[in-house]
Structure 1
């Protein structure tokens, strides 16, 4: 089988979290992601969950060794100004996005989650 005939799916970043309520407040309530599923090996063990929005999937993990705080994820969007307006209207108390600026891959802005992970949203040229 030729190497160019193998299809790859989009990668799914694993982001380390330390507080489920704060993670859901940020990813679900502020950014508008849906919680697709949650997994715990036992009820009192760390959470591993998937959130998604419009084809972008992220895994959130409380497990030691999954992800590193300070990870950067670049997410392409088709209307950076509409996303910025949506997020700015939420008045999230722990951070607000700066205005979109020109950058590599098109205009964009970044926002940091409560655990030090940065999401860079960009609209490709």
Structure 2
């Protein structure tokens, strides 16, 4: 086994693209529909983080939570998101009880993304 691809349920492709691509900075890798006007299944990615987003009933339940180990500068990423002035979200940073920082985001469909950066050693 080499990777995990969480599948998150979505209900509106335009809202999903606005959130994941437009605001968070993911890239739309591909999308698939069996026929025109049928539910979409697509992949978005940023660096090594890859999600499958699905409008298909039964693929996933809204309200899932994904824990994301963030190896970069989480405060800088948070500031980048704040600077974009996304009208539906203004993320904050929190001290994690285990050390380091976390930033939890909730997508328009109720899925939670918990970005967690370890404590920097001196």
Cα distance in 2, alignment partners of residues 19 and 47 from structure 1: 9
How do 1:45-84 and structure 2 match up within 5 A?
45-77=38-70, 78-84=72-78
The alignment yields a C-alpha RMSD, in angstroms, of 1.2
Cα distance in 2, alignment partners of residues 66 and 88 from structure 1: 31
1:15 aligns with 2:8: yes
**Where do 5+ consecutive residues of structure 2 fail to align?**
none
| Residues paired across the two proteins, number | 118
1:89 aligns with 2:77: no
CA shift in 2, pair 1:105/1:28, >3 Å: farther
1:113 aligns with 2:107: yes
**Does the residue aligned with 1:81 lie in a helix, a strand or coil?**
helix
**Conserved? CA contact 1:36–1:50, under 8 Å:** yes
**Conserved? CA contact 1:46–1:63, under 8 Å:** yes
TM-score (norm. length: structure 2) = 0.91
CA shift in 2, pair 1:105/1:38, >3 Å: farther
Write out the 4+ residue segments of structure 1 that deviate beyond 6 Å after TM superposition: none
**Conserved? CA contact 1:80–1:100, under 8 Å:** no
Cα distance in 1, alignment partners of residues 99 and 32 from structure 2: 35
Match of 1:99 in 2: 93
**Conserved? CA contact 2:24–2:81, under 8 Å:** yes
**Conserved? CA contact 1:16–1:62, under 8 Å:** yes
Match of 1:4 in 2: none
